[in-house]
Amino acid sequence: MNVDFPLHFDGRGRTAEADSDAHIKDMIEQVLFTAPGERVNRPTFGSGVQQLVFAPNGDAIATALRLTVQAALQEWLGDVIETTDVQVEANDSTLRIEVRYVVRRTGETRVATLAR
């Protein structure tokens, strides 16, 4: 069973479940939008990308953000996915991240688009 994220209840009053693809996307979202130090028992978990939403836009920031995202996904989800491409776009107060990856278990290519 894969618990759906964010945690909520289904129509039967039970913990909502997610299929494998949705669960992987949920895990990607958790890694990207969790700040290091936010989780008590895993102080290095996360990527800290939300801290860069209001940083000045530019090629250097975009490159740094792509590398940060790729490194965090490799560290925390490297046994589940292989990240093939990351695109980052910051507009005003919105951060949009597109992650292309291969699911290691099936070899299928997927795209997760996340925004905050």
**pLDDT tens digits for 98-112?**
999 999 999 999 999
Which CATH number does the domain housing residue 100 bear?
A: 3.10.450.40
Domain of residue 42 covers 20-115
Residue 5 within a domain: no
Report the pLDDT averaged over residues 66-84. 94
What pLDDT is attached to residue 3?
A: 81
Specify the pairing of strand 109-115 against strand 81-91.
unpaired
Residue 14 within a domain: no
CA distance 111 to 116: 17
Question: pLDDT band for position 41 (50/70/90)?
Answer: very high
What pLDDT is attached to residue 62?
A: 73
Residue 8 within a domain: no
pTM score, two decimals?
Answer: 0.81
What is the number of domains present in the chain?
1
Residue 57 has pLDDT above 70, yes or no: no
